[in-house]
Structure formats: structure tokens, C-alpha cells
Amino acid sequence: MRDKSHKEQIERWAKYVKENPDKWKSKLKPFLDAQIIISRRFFKKLSETSEGRIKLKRIKLLRTQK
């Protein structure tokens, strides 16, 4: 279980989101966009090798089984 400071951080963030419904999105958007870009770059690089393509097929198969 996480410590008390983690819970406090979540509570602060929730309060900020409630009090600033328009501001929080602009703060979080650059971070999320960067995560998407990094993820796409990773999967593209992975698909460039035969081993990588096999791994991607396994991932897709696992996703469809859920």
C-alpha cells in the first residue's frame, strides 16, 4: 500500500480538478501527448524486426482474449 503522502497528493489533485475544470486539462495535455508519442514510437520501432512483430502479434492476441 502506498504511503499517506500519496493519498494526500491524490486528494490535492482531485480538489484542483474540481476547482479548476478548465485549467487542469491544459496542464495534463502535454504530458499525455508525450506519452502517446513515445508509445507510438516504441511500437513502430518494435515492428521493424521480425522478433518485434511476433511480440506485437502476441500482445494483440492477449488483448482479444480478454
pLDDT at residue number 39: 95
Contacts of 56 (CB under 8 A, 6+ apart): 43, 46, 47
- Spell out the domain ranges in the chain: 4-65
pLDDT at residue number 1: 59
| Rounded CA Rg of the chain | 18
Task: Spell out the per-residue pLDDT of the chain, length 66, in tens.
Answer: 578 899 999 999 999 999 998 888 888 899 999 999 999 999 999 999 999 999 999 999 998 987
SS3 39: helix
- pTM higher than 0.85 for the full model? no
pLDDT at residue number 16: 92
